[in-house]
C-alpha cells in the first residue's frame, strides 16, 4: 500500500468536544499512525461542520453571531485534538472560503444537469439530524429515534436532489464491494434503507435558515447542511468542479471515511449519490464506529452525563494523553458501542500499560544494570524463543479490518507471554547460579521483544512508545515491515540514571479528589 487518506466526520460546533467526538478522532489517529508505519504517503483530514439551524439557534440564544460561536468552538475542537495528540494534516472548517465557493459550484453543477430541482414541500424536520424525516422513521411517540424529540413541521419551496435516480447504482456498488461499508452488518442496514429511498431536500429558504452557504443562482435559498458538510472530503483536497488538482487525484482513490453509526445513511446513500452525480469515484471505504456510553448509559445533555476529554485528563492528572487514547481506542470491538467508566479506565491502563509493559521494561533494564552494568554482550544475542515478529503480521491484519481492540489484544498477549517467559526463566536465579550468559540472553530477549512492542503500541500511545524506544536505543521510525528481531545493540545500553518509569500507575484518589 503506497497511500492512505483518512477522514473523520466533521463535528457540529454548537457545543464543545465531548468524549464521543474524542473517541472518533482517537480511533482515526491510531489508524493513521499505524498506516504511517506501513506507507510513505498518509493524509489525515478532520474539521468542523459550522452551518445549519442548530448552530444559528444556539448562537442566537447566547446573543452572539453564528460566526463568533463557530470561531470559539472550532478553536475548542482544535485545542482538544492538540491535547490528545491528534496528528491531522488538515483541519477544514465549512466556513472556510475555499470550501464555501466549491460547494456553491457543486450545487450549480448538479442543478444545471437536472439532478437538483425545485419543489414545494411539507415535511418533518429534525434539527438534531439537520434533515427531513420520513414519518416511518419516527418512534412510537412520533419522535426522532436518535434525538428523542418531535420534529418540526415545515412547509417550504426547496431544492431537491434526485437521490432515487442513484438508488440502483448504489445497491450495485455495495453488493459488488463487500468491503465498502465496514463492519459488514452495517451494509445490510443500508441495503434495507435503500428500499424506500426518496429524493431529499438540499436547500432551505433564507427566511427560515440564514446561516448557510447561499445558492449562487437563487437569492432566497441557502444550501442545506448535508451537501455542504459531505463535500468537505473533496473540497479539502482542492476539488471544486472545475479543478481536480493533483492532491485530489492523489488521495481520493485511497479515501477512508471514519464515521459514527448515526450518520451512516448520509454517507452511504446521500454521499454516494452526490459523488455519482458529480461523476467521481466513490470512497474506498466507510468505517462505521459505535457510540461511547458513560457508565453504560447513553451520553446526553438531558442526563447531564456529557464529559469532555479535557475533564478526564484533568481528573486523572494526565500530563500526556496516552492512557486515555489507549482506553478509548480499545473500548469497543469494531463497530460496536463502548463504555467509559473511571474504574474500568484505571484498571485497564494500570494492568496493560503500567504492569504488563512499563514494569517489564523497568525490571529488565534494572537487571541488565545490576548484573552487567547495562552492557549487552555479543553472546546475549541471537537466541530468542519469543516470536514477536509474527505479532506484527497479526496486528497489521487486524488494522486492515480496523480492529483496534483486537490488534491491541495481540500486543497484550505478547506482553503476557513475555512476562511469563521472565518468570519461567528467572534471570535473578540464573545470576545467583552464575549462569551469566543465560541470564543475559533472557534479558536481551525480553528487550528485543519490547522494541517490537514499542513500535506496535506507538499508534495508541505515542509518548509512551517514545520513552520506551529512548531507553532501548531503538529507532521507532523504521517501517513495520522492515523490522527485524535484531534491534538491541551490543555494548553499553543504559546506565542506572537513565532508567525511568515510562508509565505511572493511575491513582484513583486523583479522580475522586477532583470530582
Q: Which residues bind ligand MSP (CB under 6 A)?
A: 9-12, 20-21, 23-24, 49, 229-230, 232, 259-260, 262-263, 291-292, 299
- Residue 267 CB, shortest distance to ligand MSP, in Å, is 7
- Residue 54 CB, shortest distance to ligand MSP, in Å, is 9
- Residue 181 CB, shortest distance to ligand MSP, in Å, is 14
Residue showing the smallest CB distance to ligand MSP in the complex: 260
Q: Which is nearer to ligand MSP, 276 or 478 (CB)?
A: 276
Helix 360-372 crosses helix 404-425 at what angle (to 10 degrees)? 30
Closest by CA to 57, choosing from 69, 72, 48, 45, is: 69
Q: Which is nearer to ligand MSP, 303 or 426 (CB)?
A: 303
Q: Which is nearer to ligand MSP, 4 or 12 (CB)?
A: 12
Closest by CA to 277, choosing from 119, 164, 166, 112, is: 166
Q: Where are the beta strands (DSSP E) in 9-150?
A: 11-12, 41-49, 90-93, 116-126, 131-133
Quote the radius of gyration of the chain (alpha carbons, Å).
26
Q: Which is nearer to ligand MSP, 335 or 358 (CB)?
A: 335
- Residue 180 CB, shortest distance to ligand MSP, in Å, is 17
- Residue 465 CB, shortest distance to ligand MSP, in Å, is 25
Tell me if residue 60 falls in helix, strand or coil: helix
* Residue 340 parent element (H or E): strand 338-340
- Residue 394 CB, shortest distance to ligand MSP, in Å, is 27
The C-alpha cell at 508 is 484513583
Residues 6 or more apart whose Cβ sits within 8 Å of residue 467: 500, 502
List 34, 54, 99, 126, catalytic entry: 126
d(CA 157, CA 139): 27
Torsion sign (Cα): 368, 371, 372, 374:
positive
List 57, 83, 147, 394, catalytic entry: 147
d(CA 158, CA 332): 41
Q: Which is nearer to ligand MSP, 293 or 350 (CB)?
A: 293
Active site residue 70: no
- Residue 287 CB, shortest distance to ligand MSP, in Å, is 11
Tell me if residue 33 falls in helix, strand or coil: helix
Active site residue 451: no
Active site residue 301: yes
- Residue 13 CB, shortest distance to ligand MSP, in Å, is 8
Q: Which is nearer to ligand MSP, 258 or 468 (CB)?
A: 258
List 70, 144, 439, 461, catalytic entry: 144
Looking at 253-357, list the stretches that DSSP marks H as alpha helix, in order from N- to C-terminal side.
264-265, 272-278, 309-315, 322-329, 342-349
Burial class (CB in 10 A: 0-12, 13-18, 19+), 63: exposed
The C-alpha cell at 503 is 508509565
Closest by CA to 102, choosing from 206, 203, 229, is: 229
Q: Which is nearer to ligand MSP, 260 or 335 (CB)?
A: 260
d(CA 241, CA 278): 8
228 HSE (CA, 13 A, CB side): 29
Q: Which is nearer to ligand MSP, 94 or 425 (CB)?
A: 94
Q: Which is nearer to ligand MSP, 9 or 53 (CB)?
A: 9
- Residue 117 CB, shortest distance to ligand MSP, in Å, is 23
C-alpha distance from residue 199 to each of 116, 119, 169, 273, 368 (Å):
9, 10, 15, 11, 69
Peptide bond into 183 cis (omega under 30): yes
128 HSE (CA, 13 A, CB side): 14
80 HSE (CA, 13 A, CB side): 30
Q: Which is nearer to ligand MSP, 131 or 386 (CB)?
A: 131
d(CA 150, CA 298): 19
d(CA 296, CA 388): 36
Number of H helices, E strands in the chain: 21, 18
Active site residue 267: no
Active site residue 147: yes
- Residue 121 CB, shortest distance to ligand MSP, in Å, is 23
The C-alpha cell at 343 is 474504574
List 21, 73, 381, 398, catalytic entry: 21
Active site residue 439: no
The catalytic site residues sit at 18, 21, 126, 129, 144, 147, 298, 301
Amino acid at each position: 500500500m503506497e497511500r492512505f487518506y483518512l477522514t473523520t466526520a466533521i463535528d457540529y460546533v454548537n457545543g464543545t468536544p465531548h468524549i464521543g467526538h474524542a473517541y472518533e478522532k482517537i480511533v482515526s489517529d491510531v489508524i493513521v499512525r499505524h498506516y504511517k508505519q506501513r506507507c510513505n504517503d498518509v493524509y489525515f483530514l478532520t474539521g468542523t461542520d459550522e452551518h445549519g439551524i442548530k448552530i444559528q439557534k444556539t448562537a442566537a440564544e447566547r446573543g452572539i453571531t453564528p460566526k463568533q460561536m463557530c470561531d470559539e468552538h472550532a478553536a475548542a475542537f482544535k485545542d482538544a485534538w492538540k491535547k490528545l495528540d491528534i496528528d491531522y494534516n488538515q483541519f477544514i472548517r465549512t466556513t472556510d472560503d475555499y470550501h464555501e465557493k466549491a460547494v456553491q459550484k457543486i450545487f450549480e453543477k448538479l442543478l444545471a444537469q437536472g439532478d437538483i430541482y425545485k419543489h414545494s414541500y411539507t415535511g418533518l424536520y429534525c434539527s438534531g439530524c439537520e434533515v427531513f424525516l420520513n414519518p416511518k422513521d419516527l418512534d412510537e411517540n412520533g419522535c426522532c429515534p436518535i434525538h428523542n424529540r418531535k420534529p418540526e413541521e415545515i412547509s417550504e419551496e426547496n431544492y431537491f436532489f434526485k437521490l432515487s435516480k442513484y438508488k440502483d447504482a448504489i445497491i450495485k456498488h455495495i453488493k459488488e464491494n463487500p468491503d465498502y461499508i465496514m463492519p459488514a452488518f452495517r451494509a445490510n442496514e443500508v441495503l434495507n434503507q435503500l428500499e424506500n429511498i426518496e429524493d431529499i431536500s438540499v436547500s432551505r429558504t433564507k427566511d427560515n435558515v440564514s446561516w448557510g452557504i447561499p445558492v449562487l443562482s437563487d437569492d432566497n435559498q441557502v444550501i442545506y447542511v448535508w451537501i455542504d458538510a459531505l463535500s468537505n472530503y473533496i473540497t479539502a483536497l482542492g476539488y471544486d468542479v472545475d479543478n481536480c488538482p493533483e492532491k485530489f487525484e492523489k488521495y481520493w482513490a485511497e479515501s477512508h471515511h471514519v464515521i459514527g453509526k448515526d450518520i451512516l445513511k448520509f454517507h452511504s446513500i446521500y454521499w454516494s449519490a452526490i459523488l455519482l452525480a458529480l461523476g467521481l469515484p466513490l470512497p474506498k471505504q466507510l468505517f462505521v464506529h459505535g457510540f461511547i456510553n458513560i457508565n453504560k448509559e447513553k451520553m446526553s445533555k438531558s442526563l447531564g452525563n456529557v464529559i469532555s476529554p479535557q475533564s478526564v485528563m484533568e481528573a486523572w492528572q494526565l500530563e500526556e494523553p496516552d492512557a486515555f487514547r489507549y482506553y478509548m481506542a480499545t473500548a469497543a470491538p469494531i463497530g460496536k458501542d463502548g463504555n467509559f467508566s473511571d474504574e474500568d479506565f484505571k484498571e485497564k491502563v494500570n494492568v496493560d500499560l503500567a504492569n504488563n509493559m512499563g514494569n517489564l521494561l523497568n525490571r529488565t533494564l534494572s537487571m541488565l544494570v545490576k548484573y552487567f552494568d547495562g552492557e549487552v554482550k555479543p553472546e546475549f544475542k541471537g537466541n530468542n524463543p519469543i516470536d514477536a515478529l509474527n505479532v506484527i503480521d497479526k496486528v497489521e491484519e487486524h488494522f486492515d479490518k480496523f480492529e483496534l481492540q483486537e490488534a491491541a489484544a495481540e500486543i497484550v498477549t505478547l506482553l503476557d507471554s513475555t512476562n511469563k517467559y521472565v518468570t519461567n526463566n528467572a534471570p535473578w536465579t540464573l545470576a545467583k547460579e552464575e549462569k551469566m550468559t543465560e541470564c543475559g540472553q533472557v534479558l536481551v530477549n525480553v528487550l528485543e521483544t519490547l522494541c517490537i512492542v514499542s513500535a506496535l503500541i506507538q499508534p495508541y500511545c505515542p509518548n509512551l512508545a517514545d520513552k520506551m524506544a529512548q531507553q532501548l536505543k531503538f529507532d521507532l521510525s523504521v517501517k513495520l515491515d522492515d523490522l527485524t528481531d535484531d534491534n538491541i545493540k551490543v555494548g553499553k545500553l543504559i546506565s542506572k540514571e537513565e532508567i525511568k518509569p515510562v508509565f505511572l500507575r493511575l491513582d484513583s484518589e486523583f479522580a475522586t479528589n477532583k470530582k
